[in-house]
C-alpha cells in the first residue's frame, strides 16, 4: 500500500518542477487521485483526508477547465469580426470578446436623430456602416464614417452633448450602455487601458480635425 504514497509524492515532485500552471494542476490531480486511492484502500479508510483531497481535486479540475477555456483560440462571428477590424484592432481578441458581449447592433434610418443636444446620453456607439453627421449649434457639420465613435466625449466627461447627431443614410450602429461598459472597464485593468487607447485615439483625431 505504501507504494501509493511514493507514487503520489513522485508525481507531486514532478508538479513542483514544471512551470506551466496547467501541467502543475494536471499533475497535482494525478497525485491527488493516487493519494486518495491510498486512503480508500487502507484497512480503515481515512474519510477526513479523502474528503479534503476530493475538494482539492474538484478545485483543480475547475481551474483546469478555466485555463483551457482561456487558451482556446477566439472565433468571432462575422458581425463581431467586422467591428473588430473597424475599431478595436489594438485589443487582444479575448479582450474584445468581453467588450462585444455587452454590445447591441442597431439599424437607424436616414434622417433619424441618434443623439439629441442637451439631453443625457447613456450610451456610446460605433458607426459600422453608413454615415452620420454631427450638427453643432453653429458652423458646419462633421461627418462620421464607419469606425468612428459617437458619444465618447460624454462617456469620458459625463457631460451632456452640445450637438445633435443624425444619420444621413441608412446606418448600422453598435451601442453599449455607458454604465455597463464602465463597470466592465473598472473591473479589468488591462482591458480598461486597451479600450482607453482606442477611445483616446479616436478622440484626439477628432479634436485635431475640428
Partner 1 sequence: MPDAVGDARVIDPRGESVRLASLWAAQPCMLVFLRHFGCIGCSEQLHELVPRLGEIARAGVRVVLIGSGSPEQRDAFVERHLLQNAPATVMTDPGLDAYGRLHFARSLWATFGPRAIVDAARAVAKGHPHAPPQGDRMQQGGVLFVDTRGVVRFFHASRSIGDHPPASDLVAAALRLAIETHSPRAYV
Q: Decide if residue 189 touches partner 1 (CB under 8 A).
A: yes
Q: Decide if residue 91 touches partner 1 (CB under 8 A).
A: no
Number of residues that bind partner 1 (CB under 8 A): 35
Tell me how far, at minimum, the Cβ of 115 lies from partner 1, in Å.
6
Residue with smaller CB distance to partner 1, 50 or 117: 117
CA 156/CA 182 separation, integer angstroms: 10
Contacting range for partner 1; rule: CB under 8 A; set: 18-26, 41-49, 77-85, 199-207: 199-207
Q: Locate cell 456607439: which residue?
A: 125
Q: Decide if residue 206 touches partner 1 (CB under 8 A).
A: yes
Given a contact cutoff of 8 angstroms between Cβ atoms, the answer to whether 63 and 25 are in contact is yes
Q: Decide if residue 159 touches partner 1 (CB under 8 A).
A: yes
CA 38/CA 61 separation, integer angstroms: 20
Q: Which of residues 128-157 bind partner 1 (CB under 8 A)?
A: 134-139, 141-142, 150-154, 156-157
CA dist list (Å): 55 to 14, 32, 41, 52, 115? 21, 10, 19, 5, 53
Q: Which helix (H) or strand (E) holds 76?
A: none
CA dist list (Å): 68 to 29, 54, 62, 64, 198? 15, 21, 10, 6, 29
Of 138, 171, 173, 134, which is closest to residue 154 (Cα–Cα)?
134
Tell me how far, at minimum, the Cβ of 169 lies from partner 1, in Å.
19
Q: Decide if residue 19 touches partner 1 (CB under 8 A).
A: no
- Residue of 55, 74, 102, 193 interacting with partner 1 (CB under 8 A): 193
Q: Decide if residue 203 touches partner 1 (CB under 8 A).
A: yes
CA 204/CA 115 separation, integer angstroms: 21
- Residues forming contacts to partner 1 in the complex (CB under 8 A) are 115, 121, 134-139, 141-142, 150-154, 156-157, 159, 161-163, 165, 189, 192-193, 196-197, 199-201, 203-204, 206-207, 210
Amino acid at each position: 500500500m505504501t507504494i501509493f504514497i511514493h507514487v503520489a509524492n513522485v508525481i507531486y515532485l514532478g508538479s513542483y518542477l514544471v512551470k506551466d500552471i496547467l501541467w502543475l494542476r494536471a499533475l497535482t490531480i494525478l497525485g491527488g487521485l493516487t493519494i486518495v486511492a491510498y486512503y480508500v484502500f487502507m484497512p480503515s479508510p481515512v474519510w477526513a483526508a479523502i474528503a479534503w483531497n476530493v475538494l482539492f481535486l474538484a478545485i483543480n479540475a475547475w481551474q483546469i477547465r478555466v485555463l483551457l477555456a482561456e487558451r482556446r483560440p477566439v472565433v468571432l462571428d462575422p458581425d463581431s469580426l467586422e467591428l473588430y477590424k473597424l475599431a478595436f484592432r489594438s485589443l487582444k481578441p479575448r479582450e474584445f470578446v468581453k467588450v462585444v458581449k455587452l454590445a447591441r447592433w442597431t439599424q437607424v434610418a436616414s434622417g433619424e436623430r441618434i443623439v439629441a443636444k442637451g439631453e443625457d446620453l447613456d450610451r456610446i456607439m460605433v458607426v459600422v456602416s453608413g454615415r452620420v453627421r454631427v450638427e453643432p449649434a453653429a458652423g458646419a457639420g462633421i461627418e462620421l464614417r464607419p469606425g468612428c465613435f459617437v458619444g465618447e466625449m460624454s462617456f469620458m466627461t459625463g457631460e451632456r452633448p452640445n450637438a445633435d447627431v443624425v444619420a444621413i443614410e441608412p446606418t448600422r450602429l453598435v451601442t453599449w450602455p455607458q454604465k455597463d461598459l464602465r463597470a466592465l472597464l473598472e473591473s479589468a485593468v488591462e482591458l480598461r487601458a486597451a479600450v482607453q487607447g482606442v477611445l483616446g485615439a479616436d478622440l484626439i483625431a477628432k479634436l485635431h480635425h475640428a
